[in-house]
Amino acid sequence: MEMDPSDMKTRIIAEKTALVVIDLQQGIAHPSRKGAPHESSVVVGNASRLAQAFAEEGGFVVLVRVSSFDGKDMLKPETDMHPSPTAYPAGWDEIVPELAEVKGAHMVTKRQWGAFFGTDLDLQLRRRGIDTIVLCGISTSIGVDMTAREAFQHGYQQIFVEDAMSASTTEEHEYVCRFIFPRIGKIRSTEEVLAALR
C-alpha cells in the first residue's frame, strides 16, 4: 500500500475512537483456516495488540461476531454460489481467546455481513461521542468491507488496519484495500495505529 508520507502522522484520540474488530471468532479465525494475504494467526495477533492498547488508553473496543439463534434469523438470498451450511458446530461463534478477555470490550452480535444493521453499534458509539472507527478483522472483502460502507454512510471517520485483516484470497483483500477503503478512510498498519494512539 502506498501512502502519502505527509499524512502519516495521524493522531488517534482514544476517547473519540473505537476499535471495531470484525468476526474474530472460532469458526472464522481458527488457526486451521488460512487467510490471504495474512494468516488468521497474524490477524488475531495484531488485533489483540490493538485491543489491549485501546483498552489501556481508554478507547472503546467493540468485538463483533456473527451468530444465529436458530438459523431462521440469517439471510438466505438466492445466489449463483453454493450456500454455506446452515448447521454450525458448537462454539463456532465464540470470540477467539486472545480477544475474549479484553477489559471493557462491548460485544455486538450481528446476523449478516455488516455490524451496524440490526445492532446497537451506532447507538453505543454516538452515546460515547465517538466519531472515528479503527476497523480490522476477517474477512476484508465481506464483514469488514460491509461494516466500513455502513460506517461511511453513518458519517464516521475510518482507519483501516491492513495487516490486521485478511480475506479468502489475496485478490479480494487487495481489491478492497486499493479501490474501496482509500475512498472512505485511511489505510494504516498495526504499528502506525499503535504509534498514533500513544
Beta-bridge partners for 161: 188
Number of alpha helices (DSSP H) and beta strands (DSSP E) in the chain = 8, 6
Q: How high is the pLDDT of residue 7?
A: 53
Q: What is the mean pLDDT of the chain?
A: 91
Q: Is the pLDDT reported for residue 135 higher than 80? A: yes
Q: Is the pLDDT reported for residue 5 higher than 60? A: no
Separation between Cα atoms, residue 22 and residue 161, nearest integer Å:
12
Q: How high is the pLDDT of residue 30?
A: 82
Does residue 104 come out as left (phi exceeding 0), alpha (psi in the -120 to 50 range) or beta? left
Q: Is the pLDDT reported for residue 77 higher than 50? A: yes
Q: Which of 112, 101, 108, 137 is nearest to 125 (CA)?
A: 108
The confidence band for 82, taking pLDDT boundaries of 50, 70 and 90, is confident
Q: How high is the pLDDT of residue 184?
A: 98
Residue that is written with C-alpha cell 499503535 in the block: 194
Q: How high is the pLDDT of residue 6?
A: 44
More confident residue, 69 or 95: 95
Interval 49-69: pLDDT, tens = 999 999 999 999 999 999 887
- What is the residue type of 78? E
The confidence band for 84, taking pLDDT boundaries of 50, 70 and 90, is low
Compute the residue count for the chain. 198
Q: Which of 164, 180, 178 is nearest to 37 (CA)?
A: 164
The CA R_g of the chain, rounded to the nearest whole Å, is 16
